[in-house]
Amino acid sequence: MHRELRLANRLAIFFIGISILLLSLPLSAPVASFKISLQYLIDPGLYQGADGLRRISEIPRSLKNLLSADIQNRELKDEIKMEPALNAEIDSLKTENDRLRSEMDLEKRVSFSFVWAQVIKRSPADWYQDFIISAGKSKGVELNDPVFAADGPTLAAVGRVLEVNSDTAVVQLLTNDLSAIDSFIVSQSSHTHGSFNGLIQGSDSPNLQISYLPVQAPLEEGEKVYTSPNSVSFPPSILIGTVVKVYPVDPFLIFKSADVRPALSPSEINEVLVGRGVNKAKISQ
Amino acid sequence: MKLIKRLTIFFLGLLGEWIFSRYLSFRGLNPQILLILTINVAAVSGAVEAMIFGFFWGLLWDALSLKLFGARALVLTLISYGLGLLRKQVDMNTPASQAIVAVVATILYRLILGLVFLIFSGQFLWVGWLVFILEPLYNGFFCFILAALRPNSYLPAPRFRSIAS
């Protein structure tokens, strides 16, 4: 009997000691984690229930996404069905254009191909000057090739290839202060309709400047600026940007100038299209 | 075999406490299944076994409750020890005596638990007068039922010996 009592006493001291030790410990992260793990093992219903509720609450959203994906899929399938017809129309227009050009003794249109590339490096110090893309000589990129980016469904000019390496290339942006390309504006003014050529120059700032426009050009804010057919580097009629400010005519100058906001800011460009063979075709002409 | 039976009772006790506290609780009033089982084990098998059951039940229940870790383990150990000593003085083998012991033990359980919380967390754990008054009666009733059903066939028969023997 004494043995049992001694054992009970020792066990009581041991368990009470352990309990007090556990009570004295601060609820530090390991103890809390242990408790949570133990709670999960013994009482997983709480966690499973929460997870189940979350899954159930997500069902309407998932179902909505599924339905919208299905609708989009059907729309895209319909668009794809239209593609052969559109291609046939483009081919027939090209043929007609070439035939008319040859009848009028005009030069043939420049034909070129594109290569996709990603912007892999841009320097904060040269934000409006240049960036590096993931396509180089290995993909057929050459010096002075024009670089474009998609502005929604529209293609916009971004810059030109300044330096080519084996797998990368440096693109000089239109906003670079050394960049200058020939451009034209189609005036939508109610008084006068017509197109005016000018020179688009960068200024290491968000906006471009177009100058050498005729003084009589009825320039208005919001008008679109496109690449000129006279440009050596760029194919014609590619969007450059929008006129945001027209400067008053200086009586000592014989031309007009305006600020142009590029269609795409350098910050918005992540993928670009490099137009291969534009220069060769233009030079050969 | 006895070990398997003891482990089964151990986990069934936890499950019972969990079910009663989660699903059969009315205004915080539910039978303290672990306390009732500890009393039953102490009455039938003695302080050593009751302390082992009580300590580990308390520890696991503390882990589930995410309050003071070790508080219930300490209180159930103390009650088991006290009941183990009391068993040698009082006949705790009848349902009525176990029910009375359960009433007293529940009051002590609540008071000691409150004091432990006061010492270690700075706030007395007060469950409210309704629970404090009705819970001992509720526990006593459940303890009476449990003792009447005698689910302790695996345990040795109670031995009545004087404390001096």
Which residues share a beta bridge with A198? A183
Distances (CA, A) of A17 to A31, A59, A182, B162: 18, 51, 89, 29
Output the average pLDDT for chain B. Answer: 82
Between chains, do A31 and B66 touch, taking CB under 8 Å as contact? Answer: no
Q: Count other C-beta atoms under 10 Å from residue A3's C-beta.
A: 7
Q: What is the mean pLDDT of residues B120-144?
A: 85
Among A47-61, B119-133, B151-165, which is the least confidently predicted range?
A: B151-165
pLDDT beyond 80 at A52: no
Contact B48, A8 (CB under 8 A): yes
Among A107-111, A219-223, A245-249, B157-161, which is the least confidently predicted range?
A: B157-161
Q: What is the mean pLDDT of residues B70-86?
A: 89
Give B123 to chain A, closest Cα distance, Å: 14
- Which residue has better confidence, B49 or A195? B49
Among A37-41, B69-73, B80-84, B116-120, which is the least confidently predicted range?
A: A37-41
pLDDT at A47: 62
Q: What is the mean pLDDT of residues B92-102?
A: 85
Among A18-32, A136-150, B44-58, B89-103, which is the least confidently predicted range?
A: A18-32
pLDDT at B66: 60
pLDDT at B154: 39
Contact A78, A231 (CB under 8 A): no
Q: What is the mean pLDDT of residues B88-116?
A: 87
Between chains, do A8 and B84 touch, taking CB under 8 Å as contact? Answer: yes
Contact B143, B93 (CB under 8 A): no
Q: What is the mean pLDDT of residues A116-124?
A: 88
Contacts of A41 in chain B (CB under 8 A): none
Q: What residues does each domain of chain B span?
A: 2-24+32-149
pLDDT beyond 50 at B164: no
Which residues share a beta bridge with A186? A195
The 10s digit of each residue's pLDDT in A149-180 is 987 778 899 999 999 999 999 999 999 989 99
Between chains, do B116 and A42 touch, taking CB under 8 Å as contact? Answer: no
Contact B117, B124 (CB under 8 A): yes
**Cβ of residue A21 closer than 8 Å to a chain B Cβ:** yes
Q: Which two tokens stand for residue B86?
A: 């009391």
Q: 3-class secondary structure for chain B?
A: CHHHHHHHHHHHHHHHHHHHHHHCCECCECCCHHHHHHHHHHHHHCHHHHHHHHHHHHHHHHHHHCCCCCHHHHHHHHHHHHHHHHCCCCCCCCHHHHHHHHHHHHHHHHHHHHHHHHHHHCCCCCCCHHHHHHHHHHHHHHHHHHHHHCCCCCCCCCCCCCCCC
Output the average pLDDT for chain A. Answer: 83
Q: Which two tokens stand for residue A4?
A: 């049992």
- Which residue has better confidence, A284 or A243? A243
CA nearest B55 in A: which residue?
A: A15
CA-closest candidate to residue A24, choices B121, B52, B51, B66: B121
The 10s digit of each residue's pLDDT in A199-248 is 999 988 899 999 888 887 778 888 889 998 888 888 888 899 999 998 88
pLDDT at B156: 46
CA-closest candidate to residue A176, choices A129, A108, A116, A127: A129
- A25: DSSP letter: S
pLDDT beyond 70 at B153: no
Helix, strand, or coil (residue A192): coil
- Which residue has better confidence, A125 or A134? A134
Q: Which two tokens stand for residue A172?
A: 């000089």
Give B132 to chain A, closest Cα distance, Å: 24
Contact A181, A172 (CB under 8 A): no
Between chains, do A12 and B51 touch, taking CB under 8 Å as contact? Answer: yes
pLDDT at B161: 47
pLDDT at B163: 44
Interface predicted TM-score of the whole assembly (ipTM), two decimals? 0.81
Angstrom distance (rounded) from CA B141 to CA B2? 28
- Which residue has better confidence, B5 or A69? A69
- A138: DSSP letter: G
